[in-house]
Structure formats: C-alpha cells, structure tokens
C-alpha cells in the first residue's frame, strides 16, 4: 500500500473552538476519495491544511513520506487543487488562462493543448471565460489545477451548482484523470449520489472528527436492504410487526412509511399477514439505503 498523504492527530482551532479534532487519515495513491460532511464539518479546513493554506495547531501532516516543513513545501508542488471556487481570469480565453498558470509554475506551454483536449475546451477559441457556462468554468479550473501534472488533486465542491449535463461532464473528467494519469483525488460534494458514481473510498466527517472511512465495496455491504411499506395505518402495522412477525429491526420513517430491515425474503409472509388483518398497503417493495441515508444514519440525523 503506497500512501500519498497522511494526517496524524491533526487538530485546528479558531477562536479557541475546535474545527478539527484529532483527525487521522491515510490516502492511497491512485484512488478517488469522497469527503462527506455537513457544512462546517471540517472538510475545507482539512483540504486547506493539506495544501498549506492553513496550519494545524496539533498533529503531523505527511505528504509522500515527508513531514518536515522545508521538504513538504516541495512535495506540495505536486498537489493541484480547487478550494471553494476556481481562480479564473474572466476576460481571458481558456488557453490564456492555462498559459498564465504555466508561467506561474514554470511549466512548458506545450501542455496547454493536451489539457484543453482533456477538459473538453479545445474548440472554444477566442471565447472569453466570462461567457463560459458554470460547467465549462469548473472544467477549466480543473485543467489549471493539472498544469503541474500533480500526483494528488484536491477538489472542493467541483459540481456544486452545475446543471445535470455539467455534472456528467465533470464526473467523467474526474474519473478519466484518475484512470489515465493515476492521480489520487480527494473530492468533497453534497451531491452524494454523484459521489457514489465517482469514488473508490468514502471519508465521513462530523463536527471536526472522522467518524468512518470505508471502501465502495464496504458501503455496498453496509447499506441495508429493507421492505418498504406505504400505508396510512402505520400504528396498526407497527403492532403487527412487533407482535405477529416478531421483528425488532424496523423503522417508521414518517406517518405513511415503514422500513423493515433484513426481511427482504419475508415479503410474501408480510403481505399474507397484512391481508389476514385487513390491511392493504398502498405500496410494498424491497429497496435499500442510499449513500445519503447511510450518511444521515451515521451522523445521527
């Protein structure tokens, strides 16, 4: 296992309030990590610490095996990032924006054509960035973050505010970067259904603490299947589940929805008992938790 970034006991305080508390993370090379948490949970602060935009008050940051302050600056040169919003020159073209970034990093201008092709902007010619769609601006921002051919790419809410077409374009781009360039990517987003289609691993953070790290396969195992019942007689259904079916693992989600877990093989039995008790649900099906539902369970909402 080759680790590109490790956080050991990282804590950060603002006005004596802990924003991060003893954060421990290991990110492997060549994988996409989805960083999940509410607003204010500590995602952006963690990203800022990794990129050097903020300093931890406690703990150790290790990038590609290096932790001392002098050499870690050199390692950070192999990190590309967009934190909050991409910094673009709106009155310049995509090519001119990339050229300015190449000059800033001391990189050959020969990479510009390749990057324009990669982010799908090679045909925009003299069009100024201010006339780009939000999705085009995000793709250009990602292209600019790739100018120095980073081994590690950090993207803070790159699909926020995009329309469905823009989301698909950015999703494809991120997966393509990882697959073709073997780049490690840490990405945060509130659109968890999109993260599910992009990432290999999940990092769940709540109130400045990492509450869980799991792989895509582990998530699939943990998202429980359940029998979903829709009915306006949830009180009566609860009695049947507890007394007739002897099932304890169920949940009444609202006034007309019941979830019975680990009972997907008992649908016929459940329907027969309901029929014998004179209850006709408006719907009954087998479903499973989404990433959103699993996340909200973990953070206690």
Domains of the chain: 3-221 (3.40.50.300), 224-298 (3.30.70.980)
- Per-residue pLDDT tens digits for 55-88: 999 999 999 999 988 889 989 989 999 987 788 9
Question: SS3 of 217, please?
Answer: helix
Mean pLDDT of 246-251: 86
Mean pLDDT of 235-264: 86
- Is residue 70 within 8 A of residue 61, CB to CB? The reply is no
Looking at residues 102-108, what average pLDDT do you find?
A: 92
pLDDT at 93 (0 to 100):
96
- Which band of pLDDT confidence, cut at 50, 70 and 90, is reported for residue 32? very high
pLDDT of residue 154 exceeding 90, the answer is yes
* Average pLDDT for the chain: 90
Predicted confidence at residue 25, as pLDDT, reads: 95
Mean pLDDT, residues 145-162: 92
- Residue 300's alpha-carbon distances to 19, 41, 293, in angstroms, are 19, 14, 11
Q: For residues 288 and 93, which has the higher predicted lDDT (pLDDT)?
A: 93
Distance CA 301, CA 80 (A): 34
| 188: phi then psi, degrees, rounded to nearest 5 | -105, 150
pLDDT at 1 over 80: no
Q: What is the DSSP letter of 158?
A: T
Distance CA 146, CA 81 (A): 8
Asked whether the beta carbons of 280 and 239 are under 8 A apart, the reply is no
Of the segments 126-130, 221-225, 233-237, which one has the largest average pLDDT value? 126-130
Residue 204 pLDDT class (50, 70, 90 cuts): very high
Q: Is the pLDDT of residue 301 over 70?
A: no
Asked if the model's pLDDT at residue 191 lies above 90, the reply is no
- Based on the number of CB atoms within 10 Å of its own CB, is 187 exposed (0-12), middle (13-18) or buried (19 or more)? buried
């Amino acid at each position: 296992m080759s680790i590109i970034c490790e956080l050991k006991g990282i804590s950060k305080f603002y006005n004596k309030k802990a924003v991060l508390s003893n954060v421990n993370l290991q990110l492997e090379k060549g994988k996409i990590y989805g960083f999940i948490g509410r607003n204010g949970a500590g995602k952006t602060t963690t990203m800022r610490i990794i990129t050097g935009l903020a300093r931890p008050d406690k703990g150790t940051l290790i990038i590609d095996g290096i932790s001392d302050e002098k050499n870690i600056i050199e390692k950070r040169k192999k990190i590309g990032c967009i934190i909050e919003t991409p910094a673009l020159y709106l009155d310049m073209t995509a090519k001119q924006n990339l050229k300015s970034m190449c000059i800033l990093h001391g990189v050959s201008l020969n990479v510009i054509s390749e990057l324009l092709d990669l982010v799908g902007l090679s045909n925009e010619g003299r069009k100024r960035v201010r006339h780009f769609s939000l999705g085009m601006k995000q793709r250009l921002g990602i292209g600019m973050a790739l100018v120095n051919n980073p081994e590690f790419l950090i993207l803070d809410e790159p699909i926020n505010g995009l329309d469905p077409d823009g989301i698909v374009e950015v999703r494809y781009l991120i997966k393509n970067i990882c697959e073709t360039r073997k780049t490690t990517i840490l990405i945060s987003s509130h659109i968890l259904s999109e993260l599910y289609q992009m990432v290999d691993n999940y990092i769940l953070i709540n109130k400045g603490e990492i509450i869980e790290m799991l792989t895509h396969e582990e998530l699939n195992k943990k998202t429980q299947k359940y029998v979903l019942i829709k009915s306006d007689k949830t009180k009566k259904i609860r009695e049947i589940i507890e007394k007739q079916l002897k099932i304890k693992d169920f949940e009444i989600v609202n006034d007309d929805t019941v979830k019975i877990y680990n009972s997907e093989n008992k649908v016929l039995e459940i329907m027969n008992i309901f029929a014998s008790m004179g209850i006709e649900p408006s719907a009954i099906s087998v479903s499973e938790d989404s990433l959103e539902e699993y996340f909200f369970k973990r953070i206690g909402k």
